[in-house]
Amino acid sequence: MPDVDFAGKCVLVTGAASGIGRAAAIEFAARGARVVLGDLDEAGGEETARIVRRGAGEALFVRVDVSRDADVAALIAAGAERYGRIDCAFNNAGIEEEGQRLADCSEATFDRVLGVNLKGVWLCMKHEIAHMLPKGGGAIVNTASVAALIGAPNQSAYAASKHGVVGLTKTAALEYGRDGIRVNAVCPGVIRTPMMDRGIARRPEIEQLIPRLHPIGRAGEAAEVAAAAVWLASDAASFVTGHALAVDGGLTAI
Ligand code: NAP
């Protein structure tokens, strides 16, 4: 059976300065991958790179705004130059939406959320696939959300962006399956990260709701989403593509 082993492979992770992205970068590196870390947050990204190196891994941090084509192209070029090729990518950078009903959501908010969460994933996939095609294949995992599978009241832009991520994931899986490129998504429930902390700071009552939302009775940990992303990117998932995997403590099973 194929192993969850990344020895000799290079993995790109966006949103790597914090939360799920940092946990995934550490987990990929622990399994032997050299990691290329992209994020807007330079201090956090460099700190993730230091954590990986302290564990005897190899890491390169590149500041990137995933909503900008030139930035994404430069990230992939820098990774390819340093490590020769990029075998896998975890397109995870994303932003939340401050809650309001759809009619109260401004055009600027809609454009900002879609720009990072949807266009950012599209740009990353566009450049990653162009890089992977001549190398004979690769594996891509995108971070969506439970808000990609069900509606999310007061999060219309966020839900639209994450439903879009699943649409991109499935479409790319169909288009590039025969080229050896697998494309999947993870759909996290509420996960303990700085993003969750900001949500609770805005609406403290959410904290009481979180255990009730998840049949498992608690929020998830970043490492639990990272483990799913690592498995989907690995050869152990060699027959899995076009899948949106809920990592949600049962939230969407209700
Ligand atoms: P996080 O702790 O806020 O980490 C997100 C990282 O992405 C931050 O370092 C952030 O930098 C970076 N980022 C934001 N915009 C960027 C851009 N334009 N270009 C590059 N990097 C950018 O959040 P997280 O909880 O780990 O979230 C990771 C992913 O999981 C997101 O896609 C999120 O939507 C998804 N998700 C999270 C949850 C949850 O409950 N935490 C649930 C479902 C899905 P700055 O700090 O500088 O903005």
| 3: in domain | no
Model confidence over 149-201: pLDDT tens digits? 999 999 999 999 999 999 999 999 999 999 999 999 999 999 999 999 999 99
Q: Is residue 251 part of a domain?
A: no
Confidence band, pLDDT 50/70/90 cuts, at residue 3: confident
| Half-sphere exposure for 226 (CA within 13 Å, toward CB) | 24
Number of structural domains, the chain?
A: 1
In a domain, 23, yes or no: yes
The 10s digit of each residue's pLDDT in 91-127 is 999 999 999 999 999 999 999 999 999 999 999 999 9
Using most ligand atoms within 8 A of CB, pick from 195, 209, 214 the residue to mutate for ligand 1: 195
CATH code at position 82: 3.40.50.720
**92 C-alpha vs ligand 1 centroid, how far in Å?**
7
Tell me which of 158, 173, 229, 241 is the catalytic residue. Answer: 158
Q: Which amino acid is at 12?
A: L
Domain membership flag for residue 1: no
Nearest CA to ligand 1 atom 47: 41
Q: What value does the mean pLDDT take over residues 74-79? A: 98
Instruction: Indicate the top mutation candidate among 12, 26, 41, 210 to test ligand 1's pocket, ranked by most ligand atoms within 8 A of CB.
Output: 41
> Are 24 and 13 spatial neighbours (Cβ–Cβ below 8 Å)?
yes
Q: Give the per-residue pLDDT at 1.
A: 61
Single-letter amino acid code for the residue at 29: A
For residues 251 and 217, is the Cβ–Cβ distance under 8 A? no
Q: Please tell me the distance from the alpha carbon of residue 153 to that of residue 136, in angstroms, as a whole number.
A: 42
- Category of 122 on φ-ψ map: left (φ > 0), alpha (ψ -120 to 50) or beta: alpha
Site residues for ligand 1, CB cut-off 6 Å? 14-15, 17-21, 39-41, 44, 64-67, 92-95, 116, 120, 143, 145, 188, 190-191, 193-196
Question: What pLDDT was estimated at residue 254?
Answer: 87
Active site residue 83: no
> If we measure between CA atoms, which residue out of 48, 11, 59, 81 comes closest to residue 222?
48
- pLDDT tens profile 65-76: 999 999 999 999
Residue 173's domain comprises 10-246
- For residue range 14-56, list pLDDT tens digits in order: 999 999 999 999 999 999 999 999 999 999 999 999 999 999 9
**Domain membership flag for residue 254:** no
**How high does pLDDT run on average in the chain?**
97
Q: 170: burial class by Cβ within 10 Å (0-12, 13-18, 19+)?
A: middle
Whether residue 34 lies inside any domain: the answer is: yes
Q: Is residue 4 a part of any domain in this protein?
A: no
The three-class DSSP label of residue 138 is strand
